[in-house]
Amino acid sequence: MMPEYAEWTGAIERVLHPLASALLVRDADLVRVRRLIEKRSLGTRLVIEAVPADAAAPRPARARDSLLHRVRVAEGPFQKWMQWRLSDSFDVSCVAGPDELDEVERGVTLGGQIKTSARRYEKNDRVAIDDRRHWILGSDNQAKIDHLLERRAAAQTELDRMRAELDEHLAAGQAAMARRLLLERVLKRTWAEFDAAAAEATIADREAELARLTARSRDLDEASRAVEDAERRKQSSNQEADDANAARALAMSALQASDSLIAQLTARLHGVEVADADIALLEARYRAVQRRIDTANIGDIGLKVANALHAAAKEADDARSRSMMTFARLASEFRGAWPAAAPNLTSDVDDRSGYRALLDGIRTRGLPLTRRTSADCCARSRAT
């Protein structure tokens, strides 16, 4: 989409979706591709557009405010054919509102209503027109990735907020569990154990009696101190047991939450097979970011790994595009200098095997190369 017509992206996405979602296949590969897909159950809908080796010139736009003036075809091996295809089937007028559709043969409104013929109109709102998650136009998906990463960051923020709330609830649950254990112990006691006045009087009597008895017996005095020490240790053990039970309840709650998360992620991966080598590579990338991975930090780590993979993929795509353009330039130079040597070869990268065979033949026969361009082109085709 041209930047000045960005507001039309959603509507034009709907018009061009049949073409944008199709698989482009050269005529030379069409038979092999048809046979391959015939043997497989794809599990989805696949549309193929057969692309000839030489595409016709694009037709001039005839429609008023044509869609053709609002999109730009990226450079690449299918550029010429794509320009012709758009001009042949998608010369559609972009009109401001539904009433203006009466004035055009075919048109689309800013709201996504499409007039496909004199008596047929379509408005497909199964997906919101401004839902960028389903947009597919463009020579790369950087804008869509950026949008999804923004949504993911927002979702991560919300997840962090909910986790904080969960931690608060878990802490409150732990405190409630400790109170419950304490209350259960209280319920097992008699009122006499909580009658402070009676208890103090009893204690005073017992201490006086104990003092009288221990005054006459050293062994009894030592036994009394041992009982007091044992009572203190018992109280300490009871407190430690209460703390351990509360910690165990909290750990069980966290374990249940982890099991639930694992079950959800496993369900999302149903039917998806990942090779062991890919699993090892992903594991290495995640561990390279941070050695210790848990449910609290795996989201941030995954975002960093996704960004790194996207950057690497984009760099590889850029390198591939540069190689294809270099090949096309050298092949054109070779064909211009040696037209008789490659009468059936084109400048397309798909013919690289033909150029390799030509180079092998030249080297085998020992023919002199009077132009450096031909040698460079053939050598570059072998490298490609």
What is the pLDDT, as a whole number, of residue 214?
Answer: 67
**Residue 371 above 50 pLDDT?**
no
Element (H, E) at 115: strand 114-117
**Residue 315 above 80 pLDDT?**
yes
Token pair belonging to 265: 């992620």
pLDDT in tens, 171-224: 998 899 889 888 888 888 877 777 788 878 888 888 887 777 666 666 666 777
Q: Compute the half-sphere exposure of residue 351: CA atoms within 13 Å on the CB side of its CA.
A: 21
Residue entry with tokens 């009696």: 209
Distance CA 130, CA 43 (A): 28
Per-chain mean pLDDT for the chain: 83
What is the pLDDT, as a whole number, of residue 306?
Answer: 85
Distance CA 289, CA 300 (A): 10
**Residue 372 above 80 pLDDT?**
no
What is the pLDDT, as a whole number, of residue 185?
Answer: 83
What is the pLDDT, as a whole number, of residue 104?
Answer: 93
Distance CA 361, CA 358 (A): 5
pLDDT in tens, 29-54: 999 999 999 989 999 999 999 999 88
**Residue 370 above 50 pLDDT?**
no
What is the pLDDT, as a whole number, of residue 31?
Answer: 94
Token pair belonging to 346: 């084109």
Element (H, E) at 85: helix 79-89
pLDDT in tens, 262-278: 777 777 777 777 788 88
Can you say whether residue 43 is alpha, beta or left, with left for phi > 0 and alpha for psi between -120 and 50 degrees?
A: left
What is the pLDDT, as a whole number, of residue 217?
Answer: 63
Q: Which amino acid is at 142?
A: Q
Distance CA 188, CA 208 (A): 29
What is the pLDDT, as a whole number, of residue 203?
Answer: 82
More confident residue, 65 or 324: 65
Q: Contact 358/344 with Cβ under 8 angstroms? A: no
Reported pTM: 0.43
Segment 231-240 mean pLDDT: 86
Distance CA 174, CA 251 (A): 10
Q: Which of 285, 296, 288, 220 is nearest to 258 (CA)?
A: 296
**Residue 113 above 90 pLDDT?**
yes
